[in-house]
A = this chain, B = another copy of it.
Amino acid sequence: MSETDHDPASGEPADRLTEVFDLVGPLYRRAQRKVEQDAPIEGLSVGVRAVLNMLREHGSMTVPQMGRAQALSRQFVQRMINDAAARHLVESVPNPMHKRSSLIRLTEEGRAAITAVVDRERTVLRQAGGDLTDTEIATCIRVLSHLLRFLDDVDVD
Contacts and interface: CB of A to CB of B under 8 A. Distances in A.
Interface of A: 1-2, 4, 6-7, 9, 12-31, 33-34, 50, 53, 57-59, 69-72, 118, 121-123, 125-130, 132-134, 136-148, 150-152, 154
Contacts of A18: 118, 121-122, 125
A36 to B, nearest CB: 11
10 contacts: A2-B69, A7-B57, A9-B138, A14-B126, A18-B122, A24-B27, A24-B28, A132-B143, A136-B142, A140-B143
Contact of A144 (B23, B50, B53): B23
Contact of A31 (B118, B145, B146, B151): B151
Nearest to A22: B53
A126 B144 CA distance: 15
B23 A132 contact: no
The SS class assigned to the A binding surface is helix
Nearest to A15: B122
A128 to B, nearest CB: 4
A19 to B, nearest CB: 5
A14 B122 contact: yes
Contacts of A129: 12-14, 17
Contact of A130 (B7, B12, B118, B146): B146
B141 A20 contact: yes
